[in-house]
Structure 1
Amino acid sequence: MNDTAKQTFFPLVKYTDPAKAIEWLEKAFAIEPHEITKDDEGRIVHAELRYATGILMITQQDEATTGGLYVAVDDPDAHHARAKAAGAEITMELVDQPYGSREYGARDLEGNIWYFGTYRP
């Protein structure tokens, strides 16, 4: 098993120009592209960058937050139900993603965005 298969928390940073950010992060911090997903127009919609055993996720800026956290969970349905029962603001309802993950998003008490799902880079 590789090191990322054991990880649970993955930081998520949003940029208005993900391609430029990836180029800069590699040049400045030696953080290397691992996987990049583009839409039909060639825009980066999701990227994973690697540094040593860590993975950083990058996506297009699409709301007022500049980042968040992705947390790998075994049972996103139960996790979603628990969050909803606790009064969490659900920002993205449970969805089966084309890359095989089942996930949802929620905002915490201070406005930070958290994503929970089965995906493990």
Structure 2
Amino acid sequence: MDDNAPPPTVWPAFQAHDPLCVIDTLVALGFEETARYTDEQGVIQHAQLSWPEGGGVMLGTHKPDGPFTQRPGTTSAYIVTSDVEGVLARAKAAGLQVPDEPHERDYGSREFGVRDPEGNQWSFGTYPGEPRRNAAP
């Protein structure tokens, strides 16, 4: 990871029927729970999970009538990792579905896919994306 890169400012955000279950799943995969905010009834309104190699996701309890709503189980995210085999081992140890075993991609990535208990798709791979282009002078 580039230590001079700006901190992440794009955060995939989604909702879950059982956000605690999704949080536990992501922690089992290697995410770190950075924040959790609940209301008076203990309902998770917002949680932030950071990926140790950079970036992260935000989630909360599904609010079908809220101004910003998303159907649970419809999220898909790609997470860059230098340790595909380690994440795969954690996924299998957590009992997760691994419908996409590790394979090499023609663009130079080794990656695999996993589903969390709500059906969200998480791809883990070595492809870090293309370098940013320099701004025009």
TM-score between both structures, scaled by the size of structure 2: 0.42
Higher helix content, 1 or 2: 1
Which structure exhibits the higher relative contact order, with contacts defined as CA atoms closer than 8 Å and separated by 6 or more residues? Answer: 1
TM-score between both structures, scaled by the size of structure 1: 0.46
Q: Compare CA radii of gyration and give the structure with the larger one.
A: 2
